[in-house]
Amino acid sequence: MDTLNPIPQHVAIIMDGNGRWAKQQGLMRVKGHEIGAQRAEEIMKAAQDKGIRFLTLYAFSKENWRRPKMEIEFLMGLLSSYLDSRLEKIVQNNIVFNVIGEIQDLPDSLQKKLIKTMEASKNNTGLVVTFALSYSSRREILLACRKIATQAAQGELKPSEISEETISGNLYTANMPDPDLLIRTSGEYRISNFLLWQISYAELYITSKFWPDFTREEFDKAIEDYQKRERRFGHTCAAGGGNP
């Protein structure tokens, strides 16, 4: 194509490979998470500089609770320390801090810090950074279905009136556009129960880089690759295949 796509409005990232990166370096897994947290901050800055409006980071899945207790405690402590040290910077940098997932699963003290950070940054007008914590996309869709079913049972909504917009409006992401680009690090070719409804027409970018190695330069490559693609949304098809 002759012209480039505009910068994506919403980028979602599956930040994978911290543990494998640490093992490759001969370090403990927790060191990979520590470096990964620093990388997340670098990518937040890069997204802001590019004028991206929404950045959603898959930080901790519902399934991650099965990990060793020590690793979970380290991750919770790492997030807690991040919020303590970065709250003022988040507000000053005009970032809107957001969380999706079942935060009631998290330690009480961490829940309070998350709420405090969201409250302090809610009037900002810049990049919306969303951390998916104790998140499961299937669970999100299930909860949305229950809310819609309750509305129907109470006579607030007819089953025939349920639309895609109804479902989208009952998801955690109701107030943001669907992702234009989904990035996954560490070379794994799977979605891992992340934003299953929302990424229906997102462009996918898979890199073999582990998350701690996913620098601003790697992020720039992903954005440039996205800009060169022809986005069809099922409206047209290439010769020999595709949607009718």
The CA distance from 42 to 38, in Å, is 6
The CA distance from 138 to 198, in Å, is 12
Q: Catalytic residues, which ones?
A: 16, 64
Q: Where are the beta strands (DSSP E) in the chain?
A: 10-14, 54-61, 96-100, 128-135, 181-184, 203-206
- The set of residues, in sequence order, having a beta carbon less than 8 Å from that of 78 and lying 6+ positions away, is 33, 34, 37
Biggest CA-to-CA distance, the chain:
60
Instruction: Write the DSSP string, 31-45.
Output: HHHHHHHHHHHHHHH
